[in-house]
Amino acid sequence: MTDETRANEIEQEIFATELDSFVPDKILDAHSHMWTQTTNEDGIPPGFKEFDADVTMDIWRSRLDDLLPGRQQSALFLPLSIRGSIEDAELQNEWVSREAHTDPLSRPAMWISPNMDPDYVRQEVKRLRPSGFKCYHTESPRVPTFESEIPEFLPEEHVRVAHDEGLTITLHMVKERSVSVASNQHWIKYYCEKYPNMKLILAHAARSFNPAFADQGMESLQGLQNLYCDTSAVAESGAFETIIRVLGHDRLLWGSDWAVSHARGKYVSVGYSWVWIEADNVPPPRYSTQSPFVFNGLESLRALKQAARHTQLSDNQIEDIFFGNLAGVLGVEG
Ligand SMILES: [Zn+2]
C-alpha cells in the first residue's frame, strides 16, 4: 500500500520540473512545527493527525525531503500547544528544545502564553535555551480570539524578555485584514521600536493570504530594523513581492509551515478575504478524474519563485531567503 502522506508522482514532477533549479542546496526553515502528542491526544490540529505522533529531527528531515528532495535541512522549530495548559506547553517546549539541539544548525523556539508569568518565561529561557518565542491568538482572553489585539496574546512583558535575551518572536497576527489594520500596525511598530534587540517575524507574509493586505499595510512598517516576514503557507506571489519591494529581500525568510506544507490544498485570495481550497470543498475539474490538489508547500514555493522572477532577485538573494537571512538573525554559522 502506498503512503498517501508522502509525495506522489505529480508532486515529484512539479518539484523536478519547476523548483529543483530554483531552490538552493542549503535550507534554514523559519517556520516549521514540531510536537509530541504523548499527553496531547486532542491537542493536535486535525490536519496533522495523519502525520507522526512525535516529530523527531529524523522524522522531520524525512518529511521535508518529500517537499525539497536532496536539500540540507535545518529550521527554527515552533512548538504547538493548543490545550491552553502550562503543563502541555512545558512538555512541548522541552521536546522541541531537545530535538532541535541535536542539530548544530537548527534552533528551538518556545511556546508562550499570556497566562505565563514573565518570571516563569525568563526561567524557562535559561533552562531550555530557545532562540525565539511562538505566541498564538488562541491563548487570548478575547472571544472570538481572531479579533484580538496583539498585546492580548503577546504581552509587553514577554516582548521585554525577548529583547533582553535577543530572541525572535514569530507572530501570526489576526483580525481579518491583518497587516492593513491600523491597530496591528501600531503594535508592531511600538514593540519593534521599544525593543530593538527582539526580532519580530510576521508569519505568513504578515498573514497576507490576500496580497491586498500587504499592499495596503507594509509601507507603514518600512524602516523597522528588527522586522522580518516568513513565507509560510502563502501561495500567491503578491505579498512576497510587496515585502521584497518595501522591506527588502533581506527581510523575507522561507518557511515551510510543516505540517501545513504537506496538506493538499491552497490558500486563495477572494475579495478582501481568502479561502482554503482542497478536494473536500471544491468539485473536481471537468477534464480530470483525479484531485488536482498537491502539497500546499509546493504551491507556496511556486509563488516565491514567481516573486523572485518579478523582482529580479539574483541567485545570492534567493539563497539569502532560504538560508542567509535567518542564519544572520539566529547567529547560525554554516
Ligand atoms: Zn504555522
pLDDT at 38: 59
Confidence (pLDDT) at 296: 97
Q: What sign results for the dihedral spanned by CA atoms 133, 163, 176, 325?
A: negative
Cα-to-centroid distance, 33 and ligand 1 (Å)? 6
pLDDT at 128: 98
Q: Is the pLDDT of residue 303 over 70?
A: yes
Q: Which of 252, 261, 206 is nearest to 233 (CA)?
A: 261
Q: What is the pTM of this model?
A: 0.96
Quick one: pLDDT at residue 52? 78
pLDDT digits (tens, 9 = 90+) for 312-321: 999 999 999 9
pLDDT band at 46 (very low <50, low <70, confident <90, very high): low
The C-alpha atoms of residue 134 and residue 118 are separated, in whole angstroms, by 15
CA distance 131 to 76: 8
Domains in the chain: boundaries: 9-330
Separation of CA 288 and ligand 1 centre (Å): 32
Instruction: Give the distance (Å) from ligand 1 centre to CA of residue 287.
Output: 34
Considering only 49-53, 266-270, 285-289, which range has the smallest mean pLDDT?
Answer: 49-53
Q: How much distance in Å is there from the Cα of 296 to the middle of ligand 1? A: 12
Average pLDDT, the chain: 94
Centre of ligand 1 from the C-alpha of residue 286, in Å: 33
The total of other beta-carbon atoms located within 10 Å of residue 155's CB is 18
Residue 160: half-sphere exposure toward Cβ, Cα within 13 Å? 6
pLDDT on residue 289: 77
Whether 156 contacts 191, CB under 8 Å: yes
Of 88, 48, 7, which is closest to residue 257 (Cα–Cα)?
A: 48
**Angle (CA) 267 268 274, round 5°:** 90
Residue 41 has pLDDT above 90, yes or no: no
Cα-to-centroid distance, 202 and ligand 1 (Å): 11
Q: Output the CA 232–ligand 1 centroid distance in Å.
A: 7
Sequence-ordered alpha helix ranges (H) in the chain = 9-14, 57-67, 86-100, 118-128, 150-153, 156-165, 182-194, 203-207, 211-217, 237-246, 296-310, 315-319, 325-330
Cα 213 to averaged position of ligand 1 atoms, centre (Å) = 19
323 CB-near residues (< 8 Å, 6+ apart): 24, 26, 27, 28, 334
CATH superfamily membership of 9-330: Metal-dependent hydrolases (3.20.20.140)
| Cα 206 from Cα 174, distance rounded (Å) | 10
> Ligand 1 center to residue 231 CA distance, Å?
10
79 Cα–ligand 1 center, Å = 9
**40 vs 150, residue with greater confidence:** 150
Compute, in angstroms, the gap from residue 289 CA to the centroid of ligand 1: 32
- Residue where the block lists cell 525577548: 162
Residue 265 CB neighbour total at 10 angstroms: 22
- State yes or no: pLDDT of 331 exceeds 70: yes
Q: Render pLDDT for 143-175 as a digit per residue (tens, 0 to 9).
A: 999 999 999 999 999 999 999 999 999 999 999
What does the CA dihedral 227, 232, 237, 242 come to, rounded to 10 degrees?
A: -10
Q: What is the pLDDT of residues 265-274, one digit of tens each?
A: 999 999 999 9
Q: pLDDT of 82-133, one tens digit each?
A: 777 899 899 999 999 999 999 999 999 999 999 999 999 999 999 999 999 9
Task: Band the pLDDT of 290: cuts 50, 70, 90.
Answer: confident
Q: How far is the CA of 143 from the centre of ligand 1 (A)?
A: 21
Q: How many C-beta neighbours within 10 Å does residue 97 have? A: 21
Residue 264 β-bridge partners:
295
| pLDDT for 326 beyond 90 | yes
pLDDT at residue number 4: 87
Q: What percent of the chain has pLDDT over 70?
A: 96
Q: Are 205 and 229 in contact (CB under 8 A)?
A: yes
Distance 318 CA to ligand 1 centre (A): 22
Examine the pLDDT at 47 and tell me if it is beyond 70: no
